[in-house]
């Protein structure tokens, strides 16, 4: 039995990010599937471990509590393992800047369009166009930052890379072309060679 239990769903990128963080930090976890299409995330037993009724939920059996929100989970994991949170005070705050920026500008336009395509959300064409154009602006910001860099912060993989990878790896599913963002394409290729990397389905089978 592992210290951590991750409750997730194979299509959930937030759950995938936490799986990546645990694996890339050299730790292990037990995976428990939560079927979103069957509404399992709204059942009382799930709300008891994630008050927001969302996957992922992360149980830390050593600490004796469970966590909500994938980014908070990654920050917690970086804290308890001492890994991937940045190696100096400046790097640590740069990592957090990307986490908050991504939440603000990158995730919504990518994941709302993806959720629409997978049948989890519906909205009008004009709202879809707004998300595509906001997504393009955010991807452009990441692409420019990655000019001449292999990682979002510093010289090794951090949770900022996992955060950004989670979104940019879904860019094509949200209507964007990697041809426009060559630095992002190179970042993805490099990220996928890092120790502990696996695909979402390898962590979270259907």
Binding site residues, ligand GSH, CB under 6 A: 12, 14, 36, 41, 53-56, 69-71
The least distance separating ligand GSH from the CB of residue 95, rounded to whole angstroms, comes to 16
Nearer of residues 55 and 162 to ligand GSH, judged by Cβ: 55
The least distance separating ligand GSH from the CB of residue 67, rounded to whole angstroms, comes to 9
The least distance separating ligand GSH from the CB of residue 186, rounded to whole angstroms, comes to 26
Nearer of residues 72 and 180 to ligand GSH, judged by Cβ: 72
The least distance separating ligand GSH from the CB of residue 50, rounded to whole angstroms, comes to 8
For the chain, the DSSP string reads --SEEEEE-TT-HHHHHHHHHHHHTT--EEEEE--TTTTGGGSHHHHTT-TT--S-EEEETTTTEEEE-HHHHHHHHHHHH--SS-SSHHHHHHHHHHHHHIIIIIHHHHHHHHHHHTTS----HHHHHHHHHHHHHHHHHHHHHTTT-SSSSTTS--HHHHHHHHHHTTTGGGT--GGG-HHHHHHHHHHTTSTT---HHHHS--
The least distance separating ligand GSH from the CB of residue 147, rounded to whole angstroms, comes to 28
Nearer of residues 35 and 88 to ligand GSH, judged by Cβ: 35
Nearer of residues 54 and 143 to ligand GSH, judged by Cβ: 54
Nearer of residues 107 and 158 to ligand GSH, judged by Cβ: 107
């Amino acid at each position: 039995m592992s210290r951590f239990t991750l409750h997730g769903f194979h299509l959930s990128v937030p759950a995938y990010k936490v799986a990546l963080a645990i694996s890339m930090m050299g730790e292990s976890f037990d995976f428990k599937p939560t079927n979103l299409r069957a509404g399992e995330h709204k059942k009382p037993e799930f709300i008891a471990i994630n008050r927001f009724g969302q996957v992922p939920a992360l149980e830390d059996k050593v600490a004796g509590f469970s966590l909500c929100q994938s980014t908070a989970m990654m920050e917690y994991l970086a804290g308890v393992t001492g890994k991937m949170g940045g190696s100096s005070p400046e790097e640590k705050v740069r990592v957090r800047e990307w986490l908050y920026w991504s939440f603000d500008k990158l995730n919504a336009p990518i994941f709302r369009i993806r959720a629409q395509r997978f049948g989890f959300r519906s909205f009008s064409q004009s709202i879809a166009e707004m998300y595509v154009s906001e997504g393009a602006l955010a991807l452009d910001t990441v692409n420019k930052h990655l000019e001449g860099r292999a990682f979002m912060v510093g010289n090794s993989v951090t949770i900022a890379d996992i955060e950004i990878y989670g979104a940019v790896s879904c860019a094509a599913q949200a209507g964007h072309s990697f041809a426009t963002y060559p630095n992002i394409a190179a970042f993805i290729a490099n990220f996928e060679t890092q120790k502990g990397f696996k695909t979402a389905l390898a962590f979270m089978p259907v």
